[in-house]
Amino acid sequence: MVSMNEIEHDSQLLKGVLTMVLLHLIGERESYGYDLVEQVHAIGLAEVPDGSIYPALNRLEREGHITSYLVRSRAGPARKYYRLTESGRRSLADRQRAWNRLTRITSQLFTAELSTFGGEGSR
């Protein structure tokens, strides 16, 4: 039996989703590293360590999906804001299509399994 904890700690699963989530959040509103960490945690992905989010942003920038610019902050050092590029927009659309297809297939499979097990259990 797989516990909820195991699912929450499945770093590979989270990592795959994280890129898409970051592209989506930056597409919604240009933002900086720590703000994105808070947003990711606020949507329910509290298990994702901050240390996974910062390099993911660097990777997206390197791949040309986002660009950055510095904005002075009264709180301390300048904040690096991220903006979605055209390539990022396309990548997000592709990822969302792939994700929707995957969830459609898996949810059909799991719904079928649940009804089978539910049927057996009700006998």
Partner 1 sequence: MNSEIERALWSLTWKLWRHDVPGSRRREIRRDLRANLREAAADVGEREAVRRLGSLDSLVDEYASIYARQPGELRLLGGLWWALATLLIIILLNGRRITSVSGLKDHGNFDPYSYSFGLPGGVHVLRVFGDVEQSVLLQIQIGRAAYLLLPFIAFLIGLRPWRLLERLSKRTHHDGASARV
User: Which residues would be at the binding site for partner 1 (CB under 8 A)?
Assistant: 32-35, 37, 49-52, 54-56, 58-59, 62, 73, 75-80
Tell the smallest beta-carbon distance from residue 77 to partner 1 (Å): 4
Of 53 and 92, the one with the shorter C-beta distance to partner 1 is 53
Retrieve residue 19's tokens: 């890129």
Tell the smallest beta-carbon distance from residue 107 to partner 1 (Å): 31
- As a residue count, the chain comes to 123
Q: Which phi-psi region, left, alpha or beta, contains residue 67 (left: φ > 0; alpha: ψ -120 to 50)?
A: beta
Tell the smallest beta-carbon distance from residue 52 to partner 1 (Å): 7
